[in-house]
Amino acid sequence: MNNWQKPRNELIETAAKIALRGGTTTQALAESFTRWHYAGSRPATAASMFSKDLDAVIARQRYEQMCERMGALNGKAAELEAEGWRYVTVPGRDEGFWYHDRLGSVNQMGGGFESFTQATEAAYNSAVRTYLH
Protein backbone atom coordinates (compact mmCIF):
# COMPACT_ATOMS: atom_id res chain seq x y z
CA MET A 1 0.00 0.00 0.00
CA ASN A 2 1.23 3.46 -0.90
CA ASN A 3 1.49 5.66 2.19
CA TRP A 4 2.80 8.72 0.43
CA GLN A 5 0.42 11.69 0.31
CA LYS A 6 1.83 12.84 -3.02
CA PRO A 7 3.33 10.77 -5.85
CA ARG A 8 6.68 9.54 -4.55
CA ASN A 9 8.46 9.99 -7.90
CA GLU A 10 7.44 13.66 -7.96
CA LEU A 11 8.71 14.11 -4.40
CA ILE A 12 12.04 12.51 -5.30
CA GLU A 13 12.43 14.76 -8.37
CA THR A 14 11.68 17.84 -6.23
CA ALA A 15 14.14 16.72 -3.57
CA ALA A 16 16.77 16.10 -6.27
CA LYS A 17 16.44 19.68 -7.52
CA ILE A 18 16.97 20.93 -3.98
CA ALA A 19 19.94 18.62 -3.40
CA LEU A 20 21.64 19.63 -6.65
CA ARG A 21 21.60 23.27 -5.53
CA GLY A 22 23.51 22.18 -2.42
CA GLY A 23 23.27 23.13 1.22
CA THR A 24 21.76 19.92 2.56
CA THR A 25 22.31 16.18 2.57
CA THR A 26 20.14 13.62 0.87
CA GLN A 27 19.50 11.96 4.22
CA ALA A 28 18.21 15.25 5.69
CA LEU A 29 15.99 15.77 2.66
CA ALA A 30 14.67 12.22 2.89
CA GLU A 31 13.80 12.66 6.57
CA SER A 32 12.13 16.00 5.91
CA PHE A 33 10.10 14.77 2.93
CA THR A 34 9.11 11.66 4.87
CA ARG A 35 8.02 13.73 7.87
CA TRP A 36 5.81 15.95 5.70
CA HIS A 37 4.54 13.57 3.03
CA TYR A 38 4.54 10.03 4.50
CA ALA A 39 1.59 8.73 6.50
CA GLY A 40 2.67 5.14 7.08
CA SER A 41 3.70 3.34 10.24
CA ARG A 42 7.40 2.93 9.32
CA PRO A 43 8.81 6.41 8.62
CA ALA A 44 12.44 5.41 9.29
CA THR A 45 12.28 2.68 6.65
CA ALA A 46 10.48 5.00 4.24
CA ALA A 47 13.13 7.70 4.76
CA SER A 48 15.93 5.19 4.15
CA MET A 49 14.36 3.97 0.92
CA PHE A 50 13.61 7.55 -0.16
CA SER A 51 17.25 8.51 0.48
CA LYS A 52 18.53 5.54 -1.53
CA ASP A 53 16.30 6.36 -4.49
CA LEU A 54 17.14 10.06 -4.20
CA ASP A 55 20.87 9.26 -4.34
CA ALA A 56 20.29 7.29 -7.55
CA VAL A 57 18.34 10.14 -9.18
CA ILE A 58 20.99 12.68 -8.19
CA ALA A 59 23.79 10.49 -9.54
CA ARG A 60 21.95 10.13 -12.85
CA GLN A 61 21.31 13.87 -13.11
CA ARG A 62 24.92 14.75 -12.27
CA TYR A 63 26.12 12.29 -14.90
CA GLU A 64 23.80 13.86 -17.48
CA GLN A 65 25.02 17.36 -16.57
CA MET A 66 28.65 16.23 -16.85
CA CYS A 67 27.96 14.70 -20.27
CA GLU A 68 26.37 17.95 -21.45
CA ARG A 69 29.32 20.02 -20.17
CA MET A 70 31.85 17.65 -21.76
CA GLY A 71 29.93 17.71 -25.04
CA ALA A 72 29.95 21.50 -25.06
CA LEU A 73 33.64 21.58 -24.12
CA ASN A 74 34.55 19.12 -26.88
CA GLY A 75 32.53 21.22 -29.33
CA LYS A 76 34.50 24.32 -28.35
CA ALA A 77 37.77 22.42 -28.69
CA ALA A 78 36.76 21.23 -32.17
CA GLU A 79 35.97 24.83 -33.20
CA LEU A 80 39.35 26.00 -31.92
CA GLU A 81 41.13 23.25 -33.85
CA ALA A 82 39.19 24.13 -37.02
CA GLU A 83 40.35 27.74 -36.64
CA GLY A 84 44.01 26.69 -36.50
CA TRP A 85 44.53 26.45 -32.73
CA ARG A 86 46.40 23.53 -31.22
CA TYR A 87 46.49 22.39 -27.63
CA VAL A 88 49.93 22.24 -26.05
CA THR A 89 50.20 20.19 -22.89
CA VAL A 90 52.80 19.29 -20.33
CA PRO A 91 53.55 15.57 -20.76
CA GLY A 92 51.93 13.48 -18.06
CA ARG A 93 49.88 16.37 -16.68
CA ASP A 94 46.49 17.92 -17.41
CA GLU A 95 47.77 21.50 -17.62
CA GLY A 96 48.43 23.24 -20.92
CA PHE A 97 47.30 26.03 -23.24
CA TRP A 98 45.90 26.65 -26.70
CA TYR A 99 48.34 28.13 -29.20
CA HIS A 100 47.70 29.72 -32.59
CA ASP A 101 50.64 29.91 -35.00
CA ARG A 102 49.76 33.42 -36.17
CA LEU A 103 48.68 34.98 -32.86
CA GLY A 104 50.42 32.98 -30.15
CA SER A 105 49.03 31.87 -26.82
CA VAL A 106 45.91 33.12 -25.08
CA ASN A 107 47.83 33.25 -21.79
CA GLN A 108 50.00 36.31 -22.38
CA MET A 109 51.60 35.94 -18.93
CA GLY A 110 53.23 32.68 -19.97
CA GLY A 111 52.74 29.27 -18.46
CA GLY A 112 49.74 27.04 -18.82
CA PHE A 113 46.29 26.64 -17.38
CA GLU A 114 45.60 24.07 -14.67
CA SER A 115 43.35 21.95 -16.87
CA PHE A 116 42.15 21.37 -20.41
CA THR A 117 38.77 22.76 -19.35
CA GLN A 118 40.23 26.07 -18.10
CA ALA A 119 42.49 26.42 -21.14
CA THR A 120 39.66 25.70 -23.58
CA GLU A 121 37.24 28.13 -21.92
CA ALA A 122 39.93 30.83 -21.81
CA ALA A 123 40.89 30.37 -25.46
CA TYR A 124 37.32 30.09 -26.71
CA ASN A 125 36.24 33.29 -24.95
CA SER A 126 39.49 35.23 -25.47
CA ALA A 127 40.06 38.58 -27.08
CA VAL A 128 42.81 36.92 -29.13
CA ARG A 129 40.27 34.59 -30.70
CA THR A 130 37.86 37.47 -31.25
CA TYR A 131 40.62 39.21 -33.19
CA LEU A 132 40.68 36.29 -35.64
CA HIS A 133 37.04 36.82 -36.54
Q: Where are the domains of the chain?
A: 8-68, 83-132
Q: What is the mean pLDDT of the chain?
A: 89
pLDDT band at 131 (very low <50, low <70, confident <90, very high): confident
Q: Which amino acid is at 14?
A: T
Gap between the Cα atoms of 30 and 49, Å rounded: 8
pLDDT of 1? 47
Count Cα neighbours of 2 within 13 Å in the Cβ-side half-sphere. 7
pLDDT of 108? 58
Does position 112 have pLDDT exceeding 90, yes or no? no
For the whole model, what pTM was predicted? 0.70
Q: Which of 133, 128, 70 lies closest to 97 in space, CA to CA?
A: 128
